[in-house]
Amino acid sequence: MQTYVNQKIKPITTTTNSKGNLEISGIDLTELAKKYETPLYVIDEVTLTKMANDYKEAFSKYEKTKMTFASKALMTSAIAKIFHNLGFGFDVVSKGEIYTLLNAGISLDKVSFNGNNKSIDEITFAMDNNIDHFSADNFYELEKLNEIAKAKNKIQKIHIRITPGIECHTHEYIQTGQTDSKFGFDLNMMDLAIEKILNEYKNLKLVGLHAHIGSQIFETSVYFDEVKILLEQIKRIKDKFNIELSEINIGGGLGITYTKEDNPPSVFEIADTIINSINIHCEKFGLNKPVLYIEPGRSLVCTAGFTLYTIGSSKEIKELNKKYIAVDGGMADNPRPSMYQAEYVAEIANAKTGENFEKVTVAGKFCESGDILIKDIMLNNPKQGDILCVYDTGAYCYSMSSNYNCVLKPAMVLINSGEDDIIVKRQTPEQLVQNDVIPKRYR
């Protein structure tokens, strides 16, 4: 049985070289750490491209598919350029993500603006740069979208985001499709929103519905149900308002394999489920087949990414039979274990003589007791100066990183078949304080 990218823990190019060191995409990780220092974010372009192409192949059976990368997972100018060159559009949630696209020379003609509290400045900036459409989240936003579009003499294309009432078996903080959510219109309020668009907001053009049911999804059936609910609503809207919406956005959410206990479906499995649901329910409801937007994020970049750390101090608590090892990063470059109790797999990247595995807890360097990256992991004789490779950090690590304790943010390197390129420079002390201002009375 074939294993696909999101079902693997390590990048697909991972191997051990003749020196006994870990190697990914033809790059010795110990040499990479020496060249760029640690902590270091690394993205394997081969793995990323393979996952992107798997998405394209899986959904090629449905010609009306529009693939958009959920930028919040990992947004840099280089990453944006890679996905643009692969034919992807983008789902954005801020002015900063839009600016990054523009900085990479990417137009907004395949971009959707999502989010529950877009500012006037963000809406204006997006419209000024000809964004394709907004996913409208609430009545306040509808009013402001129309107001700004009218002032610019534009007709702005929109989707309405709804909460379909589906709950996924995932962490409660990354469930977004259930009824009790800060996102979207519940089904009871959707009709009032449509009435306002049709009767009052003449500068808005409603073309579709958007829903997102969560993240780290391991069940294919929820996608089938989500499509069914969206098409049921399109049928009901058609009957009530005499308009047939032509687009649906089902979000993303496909899970990836962080640990051996995880068992996500492949992108081919969810594609078959989604397409099958479209075919069944369009025929059942007498609808034209809609344009399908899908916005993967984590599943595109997570497996391709890993982080390199240098091991420093250690501490043994003999009465508890416990050992801590500390690395030169932690919750500022990867807050997910502290926030979500996220679990990771890691291994020593430099060669070891023999095997002497011991159970340790990998701690970060930050001044918080909760700054623990990995609890109770078996590592081969970890020592000061060893390079630790933590897998599956491509999504939501750089994006959520901070300067806690005034620690500088790491660099990011893109590797591909023996080549390495810096795509995010390591932050400097000067950059850390460049926006600080001391009032004149203290000078």
Q: Which of 283, 301, 319 is the last residue of a domain?
A: 301
Q: Is residue 437 part of a domain?
A: no
Which H or E element spans position 222?
helix 221-241
The pLDDT of residue 176? 45
Q: Which residues of 10-28 are buried (b: 16+ CB within 10 A; e: fewer)?
A: bbbbbeeeeeebbbbbebb
pLDDT given for residue 214 in this prediction: 83
Phi-psi region of 31 (alpha: psi -120 to 50; beta: other; left: phi over 0): alpha
Same domain, 392 and 258: no
pLDDT number for residue 181: 57
Residues involved in catalysis: 367
CATH at 58: 3.20.20.10
Position 234 in a domain: yes
Residue 163: per-residue pLDDT: 85
Residue 438 lies in a domain: no
Interatomic CA distance for residues 52 and 83, integer angstroms:
8
63 falls within a domain: yes
My answer on whether 159 and 176 are in the same domain is: yes
Q: What is the pLDDT of residue 442?
A: 95
Question: What are 119's two structure tokens?
Answer: 């500012």
Q: Is 57 in the same domain as 21? A: no
Please check whether residue 441 lies inside any domain of the structure.
no
Regarding whether 312 and 282 lie in a shared domain, the answer is no
Domain housing 280 = 45-301
Residue 89: Cβ-neighbour burial (10 angstroms; 0-12, 13-18, 19+): buried
For residues 203 and 154, the answer to whether their CB atoms sit within 8 Å is yes
Q: Provide the pLDDT for residue 300.
A: 98
Does residue 39 have a cis bond before it (omega within 30 degrees)? Answer: yes
Q: Report yes or no on 148 lying in a domain.
A: yes
CA distance 72 to 87: 18
Mean pLDDT by 10 residues, the chain (443 residues): 93 98 98 98 98 98 98 98 98 98 98 95 98 96 97 98 68 45 74 95 98 90 94 97 98 96 97 98 98 98 98 94 96 96 97 94 96 97 98 98 98 98 98 97 91
Distance separating alpha carbons of residues 344 and 336, to the nearest angstrom: 10
Asked whether residue 214 is domain-assigned, the answer is yes
Q: How many domains does the chain have?
A: 2
C-alpha 338/C-alpha 347 separation (Å) is 20
Domain identity same for 188 and 144: yes
Domain co-membership, 86 together with 186: yes
Q: Which two tokens stand for residue 314?
A: 């250690």
For residue 252, being part of any structural domain is answered with: yes
Which of 301, 330, 362 is a domain's end point? 301
CATH at 15: 2.40.37.10
pLDDT at 161: 94
Q: Quote the distance between the C-alpha of residue 115 and its chain's center.
A: 14
Same domain, 184 and 293: yes
Q: Are residues 265 and 316 in the same domain?
A: no
- E-strand ranges in 305-403 read 305-317, 322-327, 346-348, 357-363, 372-380, 387-391
Looking at the structure, tell me whether residues 73 and 27 fall in a common domain.
Answer: no
**Co-location of 164 and 226 in the same domain:** yes
Which neighbouring-strand residues pair with 68? 89
Which of 301, 333, 365 is the last residue before a domain boundary? 301
Q: Any idea what the Cα angle at residue 65 is, between residues 59 and 66, rounded to 5°? A: 120
> 234 with 371, same domain?
no
Tell me the C-alpha distance between 115 and 138, whole Å.
10
pLDDT of residue 159: 97
Residues 134, 109 within the same domain:
yes
